[in-house]
Amino acid sequence: MSALGRLGWPGAAAAAALAVLGAAVTSPWLLAPGDPLAIDPASAFTSPSAAHPLGTDESGRDVLTRIVHGAAASAGIGLAATAVGIGLGLVIGFTAGLGPRWLEAALGRVIEVLFALPTLVLALLLVAVLGPGTESSVLAIGLATAPGYARILRSRVRSVARSDYVAYARSEGVGGAALFARHIAPNTLWPLVATATLGIGQAIVWVSALSFLGLGTPPPSPEWGAMLDAGRVYISYAWWLTVFPGLAIVGTAVVLTVLGRRIGAVR
């Protein structure tokens, strides 16, 4: 059975939607050839029509074009933040799971304390220290999500390290580096793949939340959270300025959640 067949129709549909998102990230001009920053005051606040399927904003910029071109900013920042979180989670998780007992206990307490804090609250605290901006958003979300990844990995590493097949490999004289490469790493990293897929969607939501609060990517960038922030002022008579960017955020998170759950189920 093919990989898409094993994912089932929900996973296949999510994968197809993710392919469209990937095209928007890598080649947005193929889906929306216009300039997302080009203003046309005469066309301001045009409701959805044939000329502008998702309407225009207060400066006459096409909303569809801005959403398509903004995929690179929103998804790119979410992906970068997830990469930071996973990188830190790998270091902390493997250190805690394979280190001496006192180090495992110390890191375990730190992980549990940080994990108890809501991710967005922790990200807001970090942005307050780092200052607003795109780079700060990436670091803040990455640092805030790292405890969750570390917690999952630490638990998995401890379980695998105490398994019978690892004990048998040790009895056969397999050394530490070879044992890690052949048995521990392959059997602990797969659950992180599904979790990371889910995490990218969550990171996009959190990054958009920071931008909505004015702490992330500043306007006139077509980043989806920044578009929400700009459109909320006009929501009473230009609903499309908030509805469509919001649907882009929610839709992307749903697609990645479905795909992440299907990946986890396949294993």
How does residue 7 score in pLDDT terms, banded at 50, 70 and 90?
low
Residue 193 included in any domain: yes
Residue 15 included in any domain: no
Residue 190 included in any domain: yes
Residue 135 included in any domain: yes
Per-residue pLDDT tens over the stretch 171-187? 777 777 777 777 788 88
Domain with 219 in it:
58-266
CATH for 189: 1.10.3720.10
Greatest mean pLDDT among 4-13, 40-49, 86-95, 134-143: 40-49
Sign of CA dihedral 245, 250, 252, 255: negative
Report pLDDT for 267: 54
Residue 28 included in any domain: no
Residue 182 included in any domain: yes
Per-residue pLDDT tens over the stretch 112-156? 888 777 888 888 888 888 888 888 889 999 988 888 888 888 888
Report pLDDT for 160: 82
Residue 158 included in any domain: yes
Are the beta carbons of 206 and 223 closer than 8 angstroms? Answer: no
Overall number of domains in the chain = 1
User: Facing residues of 62 across strands?
Assistant: 56
Report pLDDT for 266: 56
Higher pLDDT, 263 or 185: 185
Residue 25 included in any domain: no
Mean pLDDT of the residues in the chain: 85
| pTM above threshold 0.85 | no
Lowest mean pLDDT among 175-189, 213-227, 240-254: 175-189
Report pLDDT for 1: 47
